[in-house]
Amino acid sequence: MSAEDIIQKAFVDFKENEIALLSGFAAEEQVVLDMLIGLKKNIRVITLDTGRLFQETHNTMQASADKYGVKIEVFAPESLDIKKLIEEKGPNSFYESVENRKQCCHIRKVLPLQKAFQGIRAVFTGLRKEQSPERENISAEEFDENRNVHKINPLYDWKTNMIWHYIKDNKVPYNKLHDKNFLSIGCMPCTRPVLEGENIRSGRWWWEDETHKECGIHR
């Protein structure tokens, strides 16, 4: 099926109020948003503001709201959880160990996501096979047993050049950090540009081992 067909099928399988786009305003998620609007779908857009995002990410969020007229639902970590983490381990504990980094991701991303998913049965994502070895086996639709939610991946088999052709052809707002070789964009302290020959997600948590570079949201 085409990406549009995958989207249309999801709206047959799930009620409109049960489905949302989970977006960090990456290039892929912007393409999915543009497709949803083009298909005249009323879609909830949910995002996580970890408190450490790039300004360029906020700029993309604003540009998306302005262009598409969508209300973006923002979910953030609990301030007391952040306060406790910083007081106990400092503001940069995530650099010290994988365990510490995953704890930070859990507080800033995973816990807010649990709130975001309340009442939702399915979410659109921008996941693609090409993004990392951990994602090479994804399909158009998957079921997340831990969160009891279906993940709809319309672009699962798209190549990077297809993403950028779509963005240029349809004048889709995108994060300008992509122009500086930030291929996968997360929190500011945990993201750097990708170097020549590296895979797409190499700029995320670059001080860690190359395998299993996930925050707990998707894998």
Which residues contact residue 71 at a Cβ distance below 8 angstroms, ignoring those fewer than 6 apart?
45, 65
Cα 212 from chain centroid (whole Å):
16
Q: How many CB atoms lie within 10 A of CB 44?
A: 20
Q: How far apart are CA 100 and CA 94, in angstroms?
A: 5
- The reply to whether 104 belongs to the active site is no
Residue in 190, 209, 193, 208 with CA at minimum distance from that of residue 105: 190
User: In whole angstroms, what is the distance from residue 61 CA to residue 56 CA?
Assistant: 9
Q: Which helix (H) or strand (E) holds 44?
A: strand 44-48
Q: Which residues contact 69 (CB under 8 A, 6 or more apart)?
A: none
Instruction: Report residue 65 as tokens.
Output: 């709201």
Encoded tokens for 80: 């007391």
Alpha carbon distance, N-terminus to C-terminus of the chain: 24
Choosing from 104, 187, 190, 215, which is the catalytic residue? 215
Q: So which residues are the catalytic ones?
A: 215
